[in-house]
Chain A
């Protein structure tokens, strides 16, 4: 029982950051007094609703894996596998968040400027280096999972 409670407590930050915040934004956005045009622009160009829904879904899976990993015995093979899955999904979550749901673009984002039909204005961001840094951090977190597991196993 103590183990389950401890795992649950360890999962709470992940639930808040990865699940509750996207859901909160998703449900409070319509009541934020934003002009209808802004909301429809965000939905059309960034797929905001789908993006937040995707974040929350990946967040639920990561939180579930965190919980399972907390229950399993440290040093067990099951814990290593669950931790590795969790680390891989965390990388995916970070990439999904930083690329605004467009992972294939690898940090190159082009948006058309709203509300001005003529002249047409395109704004492009290029932050590929941040995507690479996220990948490096993710790779290190996988290494950490393995080193933690080996360290506990002895």
Chain B
């Protein structure tokens, strides 16, 4: 190979390295901006973003708990949001909810909901009336084809009790 070709190769390699560095910077900025705007929205309005309903269905004789999470994407890229939760009973039984996930395009919002149902006998068996259960909640954000992810696990949330 002639010397001129090595010179071009060197310039090409330098340009590639610079392109990768720029790519890292752009991907990181886009990811962090998109995720942080959603998180800030939840944190600044927790009462509006997270809604928990407890109740009793007279017809089916079941207790239910519905957790609704409103997620807003104010960023520039699609965001994949996954929301799940599990309840830990005092007797060691773990009740998991079906995880709920959605893809949020930029400038849009959606509500994710999780539902737990317990029969009257479950409540007595699990000893909820004496020992309130604990809940673990997971909220996962992924952007740019799931390349960048941020997950928040909130554990040991006591449900009910004095």
Please tell me if the beta carbons of A151 and B10 are within 8 angstroms of each other in the complex.
yes
Instruction: Pick the residue among B148, B153, B155, B156 that contacts A126 (CB under 8 A).
Output: B148
Please tell me if the beta carbons of A140 and B150 are within 8 angstroms of each other in the complex.
no
Closest to A137 in B: B20
Stretch of B23-31, B71-79, B83-91, B121-129 on the interface side: B23-31
* Contact residues of A: prevailing secondary structure: helix
A129–B27 Cα gap in the complex (Å)?
Answer: 10
Closest to B5 in A: A151
Interface size, B (range): 20 to 34
Binding site for B on A (CB under 8 A): 118-127, 129-130, 133-134, 136-137, 140-141, 143-144, 147-148, 150-151, 154
What are 17 A-B residue pairs whose CB atoms fall within 8 Å in the complex? A118-B158, A119-B156, A119-B157, A121-B152, A122-B152, A123-B153, A124-B149, A124-B150, A124-B151, A126-B148, A127-B31, A129-B147, A130-B148, A133-B24, A137-B24, A140-B20, A151-B10
Closest to B23 in A: A133
Total A-B pairs, Cβ < 8 A: 77
Q: For residue B28, which residues in chain A have a CB less than 8 angstroms away from its CB? A: 127, 130
Q: Is B59 on the interface with A (CB-CB < 8 A)?
A: no
CB distance from A135 to the nearest CB of B (A): 10
Closest to B156 in A: A119
Binding site for A on B (CB under 8 A): 3, 6-7, 9-10, 13-14, 16-17, 20-21, 23-24, 27-28, 31, 147-158
Instruction: Pick the residue among B17, B154, B155, B156 that contacts A140 (CB under 8 A).
Output: B17
Please tell me if the beta carbons of B152 and A144 are within 8 angstroms of each other in the complex.
no
CB distance from B108 to the nearest CB of A (A): 23
Q: For residue A154, which residues in chain B have a CB less than 8 angstroms away from its CB? A: 3
Please tell me if the beta carbons of A147 and B151 are within 8 angstroms of each other in the complex.
no
A114–B10 Cα gap in the complex (Å)?
Answer: 47
Please tell me if the beta carbons of B9 and A147 are within 8 angstroms of each other in the complex.
yes
Closest to A124 in B: B151
Please tell me if the beta carbons of B147 and A120 are within 8 angstroms of each other in the complex.
no
